[in-house]
């Protein structure tokens, strides 16, 4: 039990040091921030996930890709009109390499980077931008397959659709997942406000929070080890569960939904570094299997 508690807490300690170093670099100069800020944040994400804290790798993957794109723009091309195109290409490459999903990387770049752009950026050539996004996503995916293999992130068991009468049940499941997602978002926002108040009003220094977050995750993991980050192995565990047959029971699955939401919100609010995609998959899979 000592290892379960203190490994995430040690991860929080290292993240605190890396966050402090990143803040110091940011205050030093813009060039130092551009050169080292993203590297330190990527290291913090590696430590967060490597010590089992309840976040995911997709946020850092996008940030690494976009940071590389910014560096390329600053070194090779000072034209401000191409900056958005390079950012979109870098973001697509980050998603594509992180999840071996070139198409998803392209759609992410279009929806999250290009679509919200201001009218001032409308002069960017759509043809050139699209070709850059597709090319970077495909190349990143190929390199990822060469280095990491092409196995799917998790194995989805075979399910059969037996009757159209099941459709209303799926509608209710969608509504339930929407409510769960809303609770997740609201809790994260609330805890971010609590941490900010503790820092400003009570005077608790920011470096303390990642340590407390990791320690809290470790304590929760004593009762619910499934909430720790295992890659996608814990999602496989959920997909293989059959309530009343094998695997995790229905009531335990509902408990895991609540506990995973709490653990992930705590990690995010307390300054640990990572994304929401992997935790969201776990929460969605647990909700569906419990339903």
pLDDT in tens, 248-268: 777 888 899 999 999 999 999
pLDDT digits (tens, 9 = 90+) for 34-68: 667 777 888 888 898 888 888 888 777 777 777 77
Measured distance CA(133)–CA(136) in Å, rounded: 5
Which pLDDT band holds residue 71 (cuts at 50, 70, 90)? confident
Task: Tell me which residue range forms the domain holding 7.
Answer: 1-147
Residue 157 included in any domain: no
- The answer on pLDDT for 126 being more than 60 is yes
Residue 159 included in any domain: no
List the single range of 93-107, 131-145, 210-224 with lowest mean pLDDT: 93-107
Residue 132 included in any domain: yes
- The answer on pLDDT for 118 being more than 60 is no
Question: Do 90 and 177 share a structural domain?
Answer: no
Q: Closest Cα to residue 106, out of 97, 93, 115?
A: 93
pTM recorded for the entire structure: 0.82
Question: Do 99 and 189 share a structural domain?
Answer: no
Question: Do 140 and 14 share a structural domain?
Answer: yes
Question: Do 195 and 137 share a structural domain?
Answer: no
pLDDT digits (tens, 9 = 90+) for 155-207: 766 767 777 877 888 899 999 999 999 999 999 999 999 999 998 888 888 88
What is the pLDDT of the chain when averaged over all its residues?
82
How many domains, the chain? 2
């Amino acid at each position: 039990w000592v290892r379960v508690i203190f490994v995430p807490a040690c991860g929080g300690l290292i993240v605190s040091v890396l966050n402090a170093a990143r803040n110091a670099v940011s205050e030093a100069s813009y060039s130092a921030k551009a050169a080292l800020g993203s590297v330190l944040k990527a290291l913090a994400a590696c430590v967060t996930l490597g010590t089992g804290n309840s976040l995911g790798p997709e946020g850092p993957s996008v940030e690494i890709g976009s940071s590389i794109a910014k560096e390329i723009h600053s070194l090779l091309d000072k034209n401000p009109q191409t900056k958005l195109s390079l950012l979109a290409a870098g973001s697509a490459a980050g998603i594509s390499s992180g999840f071996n999903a070139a198409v998803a990387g392209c759609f992410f770049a279009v929806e999250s980077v290009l679509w919200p752009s201001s009218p001032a950026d409308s002069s960017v050539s759509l043809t050139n931008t699209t070709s850059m996004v597709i090319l970077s996503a495909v190349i990143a995916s190929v390199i990822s397959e060469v280095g990491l293999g092409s196995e799917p992130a998790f194995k989805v068991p075979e399910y059969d659709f037996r009757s159209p009468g099941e459709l209303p049940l799926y509608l209710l499941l969608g509504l339930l997942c929407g409510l769960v997602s809303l609770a997740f978002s609201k809790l994260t926002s609330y805890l971010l406000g609590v941490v900010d108040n503790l820092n400003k009003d009570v005077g608790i220094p920011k470096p303390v929070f990642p340590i407390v977050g990791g320690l809290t995750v470790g304590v929760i993991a004593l009762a619910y080890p499934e909430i720790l980050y295992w890659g996608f192995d814990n999602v496989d565990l959920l997909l293989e569960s059959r309530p009343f047959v094998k695997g995790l029971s229905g009531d335990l699955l509902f408990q895991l939904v609540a506990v995973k939401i709490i653990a992930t919100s705590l990690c995010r609010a307390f300054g640990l570094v990572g994304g929401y995609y992997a935790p969201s998959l776990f929460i969605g899979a647990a909700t569906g299997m419990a339903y």
